[in-house]
Amino acid sequence: MATIDLKRTYRNHYTAKRTPTIVEVPRRPFLMIDGSGDPNTSPEYREAIEALYPIAYGLRAAVKAATGDAYTVMPLEGLWWVHDQADFDPSDKSNWSWTAMICLPDAVTETMASETIGAVTADKGLAAGPKARMEHYTEGTAGQILHLGPYADEGPTIAELHRFIVDGGYALAGKHHEIYLSDARRADAAKLRTIIRQPCRHGPHQPPPPS
């Protein structure tokens, strides 16, 4: 039996510096639940988080039973967006849509995910369990940066990342992405570590890289 540290396996995408960089993010499987509204006040968001973790650990047990290998359950992540991304305002989350998600290993199959979601939802009475799904997601080229501190103070970090992307000849594309490396229930707010990621594409004046 092996214990797989997915944070180490996917190190380039689950560590970041306080200065922005460009990364290439491949297609990976995720456990996902969609919703909308301010995550600080929305019961829908709370129920999604309450469902994701038990299901994620259920999938870990299913993989171990099927393969003999254990793996570390990955941190919570979130995709955040509004109808017009030009109106995306970190200080006003009332009109946000979101996907709460946890990255999974390739060993999780669609059948395994469907059966585990159903079983854990029924066993634990998870309100958001029926909304859970496994889906492959990719971002390709993206800028990312590490934010230290409260989520409410992310504005300047997000602005820095966006400037870096545009100054590098890229255009913003896709959904705002956050990876929560710290457990907000236990960590001091000033010490919260969050990777902020923004997909991007080559702008009209930026030639593609040589093949």
Q: What is the pLDDT of residue 3?
A: 83
Using one digit for the tens of pLDDT, what is the confidence trace for 69-102?
A: 999 999 999 999 987 766 777 778 888 899 999 9
The per-residue pLDDT for 123 is: 98
- pLDDT tens for 119-161 read 999 999 999 999 999 999 999 999 999 999 999 899 999 999 9
- Tell me the pTM: 0.91
What's the pLDDT at 44? 96
Instruction: Report, as an integer, the average pLDDT of 156-173.
Output: 96
Higher pLDDT, 209 or 118: 118
* Distance, CA of 40 to CA of 43 (rounded, Å): 9
Question: What are the φ and ψ backbone dihedral angles of 158, each rounded to 5 degrees?
Answer: -60, -45
Instruction: Report how far residue 51's alpha carbon sits from residue 48's, in angstroms, rounded to the nearest whole number.
Output: 5
Nearest-angstrom CA–CA distance, 49 and 42: 11
Side-chain-facing half-sphere of 158: CA atoms under 13 Å: 16
Cα separation, 135 vs 120, whole angstroms = 18
- The Cα–Cα gap between 179 and 93 comes to 17
Domains of the chain: 3-202 (3.20.80.10)
184 vs 200, higher pLDDT: 200
Contact 201, 171 (CB under 8 A): yes
Task: Say if residue 64's pLDDT is above 90.
Answer: yes
- Cβ neighbours for 33, distance < 8 A, ≥ 6 positions apart: 48, 51, 52, 99, 100, 101, 128, 131, 132, 133
Contact at 8 Å (CB) between 180 and 191?
A: no
pLDDT for 206 beyond 80? no
Closest CA to 117 of 48, 43, 29, 31: 31
